[in-house]
Structure 1
Amino acid sequence: MERNQFTFYRSYYEALKHLNKRDRAQVLMAVIAYALDETVPALTGVPLSVFTLIKPTLDSGRNKAKNRLGKGGTKGEQRGNEGEGEAEIEAEAEREGKGEGESEGEAPAGPDPA
Structure 2
Amino acid sequence: MEELERSSFTFYLSFEKAISKLDDNNQLIVYRAISRYSLFGEIPQVDGFAAIAWELIKPILDKSRIRSINGTKAKGKSKPNLIGNQNAVSKNEAKTKLKQSKNEAKTKRDRDKDRDKDRDRINIETKVSNGADKSTRFVPPSLIDVQEYIQKNNYSVDALTFIDFYTSKGWMVGSNKMKDWKAAVRTWQRKYRNTGNTSDIGVVLKDNSPDKYKKGW
**What TM-score results when the alignment is normalised by the length of structure 2?**
0.33
Where relative contact order (Cα < 8 A, 6+ residues apart) is larger, the structure is 1
Q: Which residue pairs with 2:32 in the alignment?
A: 29
Paired residue type of 1:5:
S
How far the C-alpha of 1:52 sits from its partner, in A, is: 1.0
Q: Which has the larger radius of gyration?
A: 2
* Match in the other structure for 1:18: 21
Q: Using the alignment, how far apart are the partners of 1:48 and 1:31 within structure 2?
A: 12
Q: Secondary structure at the match of 1:4?
A: coil
The answer for unaligned runs of 5 or more in structure 1 is: 75-114
Q: Deviations over 1:58-84 (max 9, x none)?
A: 11111111101111325xxxxxxxxxx
Task: Report the RMSD for the aligned CA atoms in angstroms.
Answer: 1.0
Identity %: 32
Alignment partners' CA distance in 2, 1:12 and 1:70: 27
User: In the alignment, does 2:53 pair up with 1:50?
Assistant: yes
Question: 1:68 pairs with 61, 64, 71, which one?
Answer: 71
Alignment: residue pair count? 74
Counterpart in 1 of 2:138? none
> Which ranges of structure 2 fall in alignment gaps of 5 or more residues?
78-217
Moved over 2 A (4+): none
